[in-house]
Chain A
């Protein structure tokens, strides 16, 4: 599989939300909420953005409290939390460091932000969410909260936070064009349109399943000799394409009667 990052409509929507944050009118509206079902490419998109922008990435944990959050941010900023005594001093150091990095990124015309993945685990806890709001408010720094279904519902309990997050991105199942782009961008074998469509239909637009199908197509296609249009459904008849997400059973390409 080619190690290429493919821009799907979900990725474009995410970058669009970041652009809207950069051009926002109300400076405090700097929160972005990203949600969607597992397997739609949220984490891959976010990680790719963090890697390219040099932003801070944190993965929320169940037992987080205020001190733990600050300690995690300090560690991510390469600062020894033990060397700073006192809550206030640690908080001040976090703000100083984030300001410095944010200004540097602005100077280079880049976006620097704080990403908190698996945010569902903490989104119902007022103390943590207020601390995140506090940090993002004081420096008006883009803060991206990533989660699944419950994140958006939980945020409704905190209107002061939800009002700062007008930019919400829901990762949706891939369209047929997205699936085709993903297959063309990642698969080392030329795939015909009918097989791409078949993969898209069976995967229900989930990137995880599409990638699984690409691996199976490559395994078969690199040993076969596909025609000029690429590997077709008929070529792959009887081959396993992916596993069913709900039953765990393998899904095979049907053999034509």
Chain B
């Protein structure tokens, strides 16, 4: 008997049951697996989302070639994500979002100018965070770095780089991609790639 309360047991049992390539009806499957029709239907929907199953007629299921391969490999269906996240995730109130808002207002700025407006007490290291963000924005052409620096006050200071916001695409801050060099711009809905460091 299949454990009815475990989220992956019924889809795994269904996958194994259809491993022979047969086309079985929902009634037959419910009887053989000792499940209700609703549970068979839910398990089938789970396999359909993974493209392992096709519905030959109403209430009649057969495995696809991908499903047959998965069944042959004794794949166990588990709950949770089906793979890595492919889209950049947008978090609304981050330090980088506030920094982007500040950059749009100032257009010509240095790192301290932006940190002054965007940082909060709970931000761990806003200066370092902004520097890393600006590095990627500069490589994708969103900001330009001036050849002239604003002089610093410390004895050995090299001064502060001056940046110009060159591409103001909208109010949502671009997010740095983790797997590829570049950013995802939510304002235009595109990835903007650059050469790796």
Indicate if the CB atoms of A3 and B127 lie closer than 8 Å: yes
Indicate if the CB atoms of A51 and B172 lie closer than 8 Å: no
Interface stretch of the complex, out of B12-20, B33-41, B114-122, B138-146: B114-122
Indicate if the CB atoms of A76 and B171 lie closer than 8 Å: yes
Interface stretch of the complex, out of A60-68, A173-181, A216-224, A245-253: A216-224
Measured between beta carbons, the chain B residues less than 8 angstroms from A4 are 116
The size class of the interface chain B forms with chain A is 20 to 34
Indicate if the CB atoms of A54 and B93 lie closer than 8 Å: yes
Indicate if the CB atoms of B117 and A219 lie closer than 8 Å: no
Indicate if the CB atoms of A48 and B171 lie closer than 8 Å: no
Indicate if the CB atoms of A222 and B172 lie closer than 8 Å: no
Q: In chain A, what residue has the closest Cβ to B118?
A: A51
Q: Bound complex: CA of A50 vs CA of B116, how far in Å?
A: 13
B155 at interface, CB cutoff 8 A: yes
Measured between beta carbons, the chain B residues less than 8 angstroms from A219 are 153
Measured between beta carbons, the chain B residues less than 8 angstroms from A222 are 153-155
- Given the interface contacts A3-B115, A3-B116, A77-B171, does A50 sit within 8 Å of B101 by beta carbon? yes
B187 at interface, CB cutoff 8 A: yes
- Given the interface contacts A3-B127, A78-B187, does A218 sit within 8 Å of B101 by beta carbon? no
Contact with A along B69-109 (1 / 0, CB 8 A): 00000000000000000000000110001100110011000
Q: In chain A, what residue has the closest Cβ to B98?
A: A51
Indicate if the CB atoms of A48 and B187 lie closer than 8 Å: no
- Given the interface contacts A47-B117, A215-B153, A222-B153, does A1 sit within 8 Å of B105 by beta carbon? no
Contact with B along A144-162 (1 / 0, CB 8 A): 0000000000000000000
Q: Bound complex: CA of A222 vs CA of B153, how far in Å?
A: 8
Contact with B along A185-222 (1 / 0, CB 8 A): 00010000000000000000000000000010011001
Minimum CB–CB distance from A34 to chain B (whole Å) comes to 16
Minimum CB–CB distance from B123 to chain A (whole Å) comes to 11
Count residues of chain A with CB under 8 A from any CB of chain B.
21
B59 at interface, CB cutoff 8 A: no
Measured between beta carbons, the chain B residues less than 8 angstroms from A47 are 102, 105-106, 117
Indicate if the CB atoms of A78 and B116 lie closer than 8 Å: no
Contact with A along B131-157 (1 / 0, CB 8 A): 000000000000000000000011100
A112 at interface, CB cutoff 8 A: no
- Given the interface contacts A78-B170, A222-B154, does A54 sit within 8 Å of B101 by beta carbon? yes
Indicate if the CB atoms of A51 and B101 lie closer than 8 Å: yes
Minimum CB–CB distance from A155 to chain B (whole Å) comes to 24
Q: Bound complex: CA of A77 vs CA of B153, how far in Å?
A: 39
* CB-contact partner of A218 in B116, B127, B153, B170, under 8 A: B153
Indicate if the CB atoms of A223 and B172 lie closer than 8 Å: no
Minimum CB–CB distance from A94 to chain B (whole Å) comes to 14
8 A-B pairs besides A4-B116, A44-B117 with CB distance below 8 A are: A3-B126, A5-B117, A44-B116, A47-B106, A52-B118, A54-B92, A222-B154, A222-B155
- List of 4 A-B pairs having minimum Cβ-Cβ separation, nearest first: A78-B170, A218-B153, A3-B112, A3-B115
Chain A interface residues toward B at CB < 8 A: 1, 3-5, 44, 47-48, 50-52, 54, 57, 76-78, 188, 215, 218-219, 222-223
